[in-house]
């Protein structure tokens, strides 16, 4: 019988490496593959925790860097940790802030022991390293904490990527030995840019340190789709099958299917909520701009056959109107729909794995990549 505190692989697809799993955490067990809505500032934009529960979200993601700047870790800890502060009773994964090393490149200085930042909010100088990132995540009380890493840009030369791997591994070793919150899990992050041997080296070293799970980082940073997929493959080759695998920041549905087929268990991305704020709807067959004039008289729901609250009660014409006059309800309704689409998509994947039909499901989405490429640039 499996240890109730460890990741369990329930079923494996006969035609690929896709697997159905269960990941226990301090705030509930996750059914995997799972998609995590992003709540960078302690809130999944335009939705309440109750709505997230109703949509079937199992876990949300928060960001160490942003929450430490505002409202500050003392405030959150004084309000019962991140769960109590945001009123979410389910599992939470916190990113370490390492991605800001990449995204705030003009405001930073990388040192051997971490990164100095000028705050994007008020310009004050702050420092974040592996010790500090783990201490913040411990005080936040997240269920899964990520190691502090350096995410190299694309493109970058091999020497830069090699230096990033060296820093990431040094910092990961420090993170591994820091105090944790009760039952808090810590995941290592594989880096290495587009260089297969660096990714394999990084993955092997992280596995040797013995983390609770492993993430593929440094992808979806502007590289072509084939390079992104190759980076996933190169990383997964060295990761143990008995541990959960998390693909960071990848959220196109066809990409999720390809990654699930390779054995990835966890995903996160801002796309469902960010694209909703820009007026774009996701459907089973691709995405489209609800704000477009062609939907002015369209009485159909955002997605025909969808059972979400927005599609059950409102037309494309109405939601288009709300978006175009900047009524916040329009963003809320489209966010609800997009998150519902993603949650339904992941349930569909899990069901197919339980029934042994993942290959057929993947084939049914064969046109999704072409539809996505055709819609490229929307949102």
Q: Residue 22 pLDDT > 50, yes or no? A: yes
Terminal CA-CA length for the chain: 47
159 is known as an active-site residue: no
pLDDT of residue 17: 98
Cis peptide before 22 (omega within 30 of 0): no
**Residues 20/363, Cβ–Cβ less than 8 Å:** no
Mean pLDDT score of the chain: 95
pTM: 0.96
User: Which positions ≥6 away from 364 have C-beta within 8 Å?
Assistant: none
Q: Any catalytic annotation for residue 157?
A: no
Does domain 8-269 fall into CATH 3.20.20.105? yes
Question: In the chain, which segments carry CATH 3.20.20.105?
Answer: 8-269
CA distance 137 to 67: 10
Residue 249 scores a pLDDT above 50: yes
Question: Is a pLDDT exceeding 80 seen at residue 100?
Answer: no
The dihedral through the CA atoms of 40, 45, 48, 52 has a sign that is negative
3-state SS, residue 126: strand
What is the per-residue DSSP string for 153-197? -SS--HHHHHHHHHHHHHHHHHHHTS---TT-EEEEEE--TT-HH
Calculate mean pLDDT across residues 257-268.
Answer: 98
| Whether the Cβ atoms of residue 301 and residue 311 lie closer than 8 Å to each other | yes
Q: Region 185-204: what's the mean pLDDT?
A: 98
Query: What was the pLDDT predicted at 379?
Result: 42
pLDDT band at 284 (very low <50, low <70, confident <90, very high): very high
| Whether the predicted pLDDT of 296 surpasses 50 | yes
| Active-site choice (13, 265, 268, 372) | 268
* Res 2 pLDDT > 70: no
Res 102: pLDDT: 64
- At residue 4, the pLDDT reads 53
Q: Which of 13, 95, 149, 372 is catalytic?
A: 95
């Amino acid at each position: 019988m499996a240890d109730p505190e460890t990741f369990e692989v329930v079923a494996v697809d006969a035609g690929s490496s896709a697997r159905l799993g269960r990941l226990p955490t301090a705030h509930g067990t996750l059914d995997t593959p799972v998609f995590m809505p992003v709540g960078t500032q302690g809130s999944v934009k335009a939705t309440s925790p109750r709505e997230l529960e109703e949509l079937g979200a199992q876990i949300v993601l928060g960001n160490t860097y942003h929450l430490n700047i505002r409202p500050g870790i003392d405030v959150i800890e004084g309000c019962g940790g991140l769960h109590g502060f945001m009123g979410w009773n389910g599992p939470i994964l916190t990113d370490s802030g390492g991605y800001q090393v990449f995204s705030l490149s003009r405001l930073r200085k990388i040192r051997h022991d971490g990164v100095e930042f000028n705050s994007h909010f008020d310009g004050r100088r702050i420092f974040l390293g592996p010790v500090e990132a783990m201490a913040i995540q411990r005080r936040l009380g997240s269920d899964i904490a990520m190691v502090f890493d350096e995410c190299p840009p694309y493109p970058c030369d091999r020497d830069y990527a090699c230096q990033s791997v060296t820093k990431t591994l040094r910092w990961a070793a420090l993170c591994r030995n820091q105090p944790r919150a009760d039952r808090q899990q810590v995941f290592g992050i594989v880096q290495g840019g587009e260089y297969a041997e660096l990714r394999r080296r990084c993955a092997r070293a992280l596995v040797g340190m013995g983390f609770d799970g492993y993430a593929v980082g440094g992808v979806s940073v502007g590289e072509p789709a084939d390079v992104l997929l190759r980076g996933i493959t190169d990383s997964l080759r060295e990761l143990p099958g008995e541990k959960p695998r998390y693909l960071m920041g990848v959220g196109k549905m066809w990409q999720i299917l390809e990654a699930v087929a390779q054995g990835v268990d966890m995903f996160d991305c801002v796309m469902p909520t960010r694209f909703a704020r820009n007026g774009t709807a996701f459907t089973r067959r691709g995405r489209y701009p609800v704000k477009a004039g062609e939907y002015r008289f369209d009485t159909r729901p955002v997605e025909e056959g969808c059972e979400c609250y927005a599609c059950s009660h409102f037309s494309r014409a109405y939601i288009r109107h709300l978006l175009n006059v900047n009524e916040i309800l329009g963003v809320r309704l489209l966010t609800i729909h997009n998150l519902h689409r993603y949650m339904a998509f992941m349930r569909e994947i899990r069901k197919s794995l339980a029934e042994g039909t993942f290959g057929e499901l993947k084939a049914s989405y064969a046109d999704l990549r072409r539809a996505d490429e055709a819609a490229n640039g929307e949102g």
